[in-house]
A and B are shown apart, each in its own frame.
Chain A
């Protein structure tokens, strides 16, 4: 009997294709949005997590400015950091294993006909270790280059490809802002991107060269330090704060005019934000599923009215209430499952497209696909029940008389 109901439902649904399609469109859109949201959301969560891994472990970052600003906090009037601060951190806090200064500025770089705008970083060789970079070609900065600030640079693969093309750029000379700069190395490409920026689009030069030729001052925008395994981030942060307050001559009642970021913590916060956003968007999408369900109920009610005579005929030849109920319920479920299936296909398509556009990995989750399918069936049951019950409760005499 169930098989008959299924066969009947399918033939009814496919007899009126356009109407059936429009009926299930709400479900299609609802399921597609949920799947697309969750797919893209999980892709970006995975991205953030791999960003965390790419940041290296036990990493803290010190920046001038009152706490409360993000790691990209803009200009502020706090005293800048210096190389001396960095040296002091390494010398007086034994838990700190390495430190690297960092200053960055966006500049146009030119090679031949090609030009490209990129973030120029001034730092030292410790930067590569702390940030987990390795060289594909060439060499790191020499002590001499670091000391006197020779304009040499190491490129990321994206920058190198944009300017020079594929292959080894070592030995060429590019122009950075107003200065000529010899390329001495190429960083190995890495897949991670830090919070949406392409990590491989980078030009690294010795800090002193950057300060003299690009920024024109001796400031250091940030100091990144790594601490030994076993030391806690909170503990090291407290030590850094004490030392820095001392160096910046802050008295007891003055607030910090610098802040120390635990990059891991920021990353996990971002993961959380991504999760919350995904959840919220999915909730909105789920509401459209609800609306889709109401659409199905509406059409099923119309269908019951239109087919009142058919129902009367079926009752006259001996269909029980349960059988009529089953017929219309199965039809609603078939409709919503078709909607669900179309929605899953569309959602995966949109998810793939979105992942490609956002340059994150496409991570379809079979659990959410199964859940969508089950939820579609559930919508069919819930919103099909009322019209089906109405059909089942019809008086056969009235139904047969219906025109």
Chain B
């Protein structure tokens, strides 16, 4: 049997060979398996919420339970799943392979990041069952309610703080790795675009996450010592918390979406058999998004109380972010022109991505404009918008990348037929679930409400039915991948005919990634 990183014995045995491994591939898979578990948990919570909303009034649970559910759904999906997301799972696995390195710059720090993540996740989950009960503040932990509520906010916030450390250190590790460990001949403009996106993401993780760390520390200090930073009775300002929170949490949106865009840029050339159109434009637009992403946090607070000047400037900057995002979309579509397109599952998800992300992006502009923002702020419109961007965008790209790199990670092919059916179910279920929310929001249905007026019910029912279709699709997709781990055909080194370095080694790769570190002489997408 061929040696690969699974069957090469290391220092430890059994489970310890994983949780104490400094191999970036094993750490990537650790993240991936934990995130899958958390995603399924978050999905179950979401299903329960949708079920509660199928009819007005009490259906399944008490109002306070519902509050806890949407908080958990948000905290789990955002902090435990989508922020570590593509960089920590697929980035860990693929980044060193794509730049022709043996590992990341700091392998032990990488392992430590995973431990911070998993301990943070454990702390956050413990907070649900201990103290005053599950937090009910929403994932944004807005003051003053988060200071006053008797639920277990402090512990949940501490868990998020630990996961923040994990995210920062991962970003630090990746930025250093990309600077230092590229294979001979791999200049900056010969890097795959996924690496560019991880690089931009790494900077955002480094420069934004500390701000949420200190914000959460301040929140904890408020709860324990009553200092009064955010308490008007003591001269503090609750709006300041919102500013600090969004100074991180808006850039965090780009931590979520940039790597997804990188994955899209990776998959399109391979399935169109054509070099990417506008390589440099896509690379620089990643940096552009990372940069502008810092300066737009105020658009989350248009109705919170800010001067008109500030609101107009934030609105303008928000429109400017759309420019680099648009550059990417146009370049992706242009890359398909005169390509020889293969409609395999990864590409199907990419097409879904472009469609859904465009809807999500354009409805973002509706909210970036001040006049319309006031109308749709805090309604289902925003819920629909960010699910289109985060789920329709990031998660669809994540799933695409998962199928694309599945043969490299496992050495086997997934079942194509089942994968396509799952993709279709996901696409239909997704739109059935979230599109009605745009309409509901436009009609005035507020987000986070437990109850609603009867005339909203038809669309709520459609949405709930959509959640069942979507969940079925996800379960089928996961079942297919897990089953293919055992029964899939052998994939070979390069089943897709990819040209980036990860396809130049065996599947799964050996411990040291490459028999011999490759020499790079061309750009990443070198198709004749």
Same complex for A and B? Answer no
- A residues near B (Cβ < 8 Å) are none
